[in-house]
Structure 1
Amino acid sequence: MPTSAPIVSANAATLVGRRPEVGADRLVADLVPPPRFDQVRFSSYLPNPAEPSQTAARDRLQAFAATVGAAPKKSGGLFRKKAPATGAIGVYLDGGFGVGKTHLLASLWHESPAPREKKAYGTFVEYTSLVGALGFNAAVERLSDFALVCIDEFELDDPGDTVLVSTLLTRLSDRGVKLAATSNTLPDKLGEGRFAAADFLREIQALSARFEVIRVDGPDYRHRDLPTPPAPVAEDVVLRTADELPGATLDSFDGLTHELAAVHPSRYGALIDGVSAVGLTGVRPLDDQNVALRLVVLIDRLYDRKVPVVASGTPLGDLFTPELLRGGYRKKYLRAVSRITALARDGAALALAHDPAHA
């Protein structure tokens, strides 16, 4: 049984033991692009010259942005492979991790002409959390006030979410709300390999009918032309870095992963409010699906907020066992590895500054 006791440090705070309260008003107020994407625009998106789909996706989203706030046009269905340049009520960016889908989605939010208060941007988890906090009908009413609803990392992890999100988006689109989403999975393949998708085929197909699919191909830009991922940091350097860096936290890996079970994923963003860096000792591979999926959500929130990770133990690229990587959540785990590896590079730079051996 893993212990939840944090490592005691002279100065560093811990994530273990925090119990952030997040009300419905904050959940709505937080529906804006996170700090990592608060300055991105279409002009700052750099398409890979070898991947023409990236340029095409940027251009298509720029055209779609111009339709936000316009009077809705009647159409026969929304997830079409081919749609008029300005007629689709929903766009769905499909592609691998690290191809810039979130950059494009945030750019759409920033550059759409609708007022800031009429645009919502959040992850799939944040929207399901909002429904849980407000209730379905109240969530529909609140979100119907927006001209644009952007959903990053669209994922259906259980049958209940399939029905919930399909119905939510149908209600919003029927009220003329423009929809935009990113995912690593084509809409008609959502849930595949995770639950009996055939039993929910009608809901999945109804959801699929709500968007025009835009494919974005290419390699992971986070590792393009970069050196090998950083090696784990020595434990004494992790402790020293967390001690000396204002706003840093320090926890054992087992303690933190055990603690995440006591905090709802909708609160993981609040969990790291004010945190400048996360120190972890004793990182090891995870083989429990529930533990691993909770960690994925935390990694996403750390990445959104540009919080470096300084860690000892197993290399962060080996966080998930081969058995997990062969399962239905493979793409989600690979995205998490990509993101935490980027954060580990930032963390390694911090650790180097606090390592006397390199002074």
Structure 2
Amino acid sequence: MSADQTADLRTALLAWFDRQGRDLPWRQGPEGRRDPYRAWVAEVLLQQTQVARGLGYYHNFLTAFPSVQDLAAAPLDDVLKAWEGCGYYARARNLHRAAQVIAQQGFPEAYGGWLALPGVGPYTAAALSSLTLNEACAVNDGNVRRVLARLHAEPQPTPRWVQAQADALLDPARPGAWNEAVMDLGATICTPKSPQCGACPLSPWCAGRASAQPTAYPAPKARPVVQEVRAVAVLIGTPQQAVLEQRAGGLLGGLWGLPTQPYDPARPGAQAQALRDLCARLPATPGPLLGEVTHAMTHRRVIWQVYAATGGPHPTDVRGAPLSRLDHKALSLAQARADSLFT
């Protein structure tokens, strides 16, 4: 693409963005000088959450923690509770850790400073440095990958290739607006299955549209096999007052939930043995099966057999504890079972 073509393409996309860019709460403030706290929370939240769902979580999180100092000073349990239901809880744990760094040192003043914070990778660092510091850093995410693959009719865009194309097209005068424009285009016009090529400001330069098969670019990725994970869980107490244990590990680490024990369904008697082992650990006495709950998590399908149990540690109030969706489902199941006994 010639220099003149690149200039015309930039002008067309930014003019479209100025007219039709999404009106989002974290986009308030001068271009290239956005509020770093609001922009940072939004970028982390939207890493694994679509904008439509993320808006509610964003407002709730900022209501709970209006400033980075409030976030830094809050107990981790409160942060996880505010993040509850959003998933990928490592994001919340890293936000909390990074807030404590920022409260002491101030917000970063360059790409490298953002990249050094817990939980901030190259994409987020590029986005934040362009949005809050007007630094000429091009972002590389799924929307950018799709737009550039179609623009160049590239079926197999590697991360290095995408970054090189993004760097070449980035408007150095308006890097933050350019990054948001490409992402908005991918989210609203150049969508995965039904691109609106007739409404696209890049259509005059798009090789994918010229091919009459824009959805062929990029070629579909092979989907990972969904792993099924089974476990038994026990409810000691009531859906309001129950024995909880704190989770460990990267997926749900820091959250609280019902005691559980995984098992291999291919082994005869494994479920019954898992229940005995779990109750022996607490210690508690197993009771009747309350039912089954299922939840999709990343590339896993988690299935719990939920049992009542007696004995064990003293139950606590579950309402203030940060719980996973799976635990909420299990408690709702138990509540429905209890309600049915009195109707």
* Band the TM-score falls in, shorter-chain normalisation: under 0.3
Which has the higher relative contact order, 1 or 2, with Cα contacts under 8 A spaced 6 or more apart? 1
TM-score under structure 1 normalisation? 0.24
Bigger Rg, structure 1 or 2: 2
